[in-house]
Amino acid sequence: MTDPAPLSKPAPRRRADPADPLFELAHSPFYWLSRVSGRYVLDMGAALRRVGMDVPRWRVLMILHEHDPASVSTIADLAVIKLSTMTRIVQRMQAEGLVTCNPRATDARVTEVRLTPAGSHAMEQVRDQASRIFRHAFHDVSDKELTVFIGVLQRLFDNLESPPG
């Protein structure tokens, strides 16, 4: 026979649910996601400034590294940024010679974005900076934990993309 859970320790889901009277901020996964994301953006911003880059342009470079060419709307969707904001970022990157923008051959309403050689070079520089931060953040996380963590984050994202019922 196993011992019942101690009465003084509520279930994790209750402490994580903001509507529950037992909610505790320190047990909220969204609190921790926000803190981790904020810390990452601050650290990446500082690292990227050393190579003349910023976080929004880093996101575009990494997306185009895997999806080249990509429409502005696809980049905005993958980066989870408003289309109007992404359009301004891409226009700035085009002016800097990091990307080219041309109408899609099959649908001129769609603007396709491609990395230039200068954009590819910048992408390699920012990857080095991002790698340092990644290695520091995950130095004591196992491959198995990383795989599970990414899977949970993907599920949460998918859950949030569909409206609550």
Residue owning tokens 């859950």:
159
pLDDT tens digit sequence for 51-79: 999 999 999 999 999 999 999 999 999 99
| Residue 88 confidence (pLDDT) above 70 | yes
| Residue 163 confidence (pLDDT) above 90 | no
What pTM was computed for the model? 0.84
| Residue 3 confidence (pLDDT) above 90 | no
What gap in Å lies between CA 124 and CA 16, rounded to an integer? 39
> Cβ–Cβ contacts within 10 Å for residue 110, how many?
15
The residues near 43 (Cβ < 8 Å, ≥ 6 apart) are 133
pLDDT tens digit sequence for 115-150: 999 999 999 999 999 999 999 999 999 999 999 999
What gap in Å lies between CA 49 and CA 52, rounded to an integer? 5
| Residue 2 confidence (pLDDT) above 60 | no
**Mean pLDDT estimate for the chain:** 92
Rg of the chain, C-alpha, whole Å: 20
pLDDT tens digit sequence for 17-40: 999 999 999 999 999 999 999 999
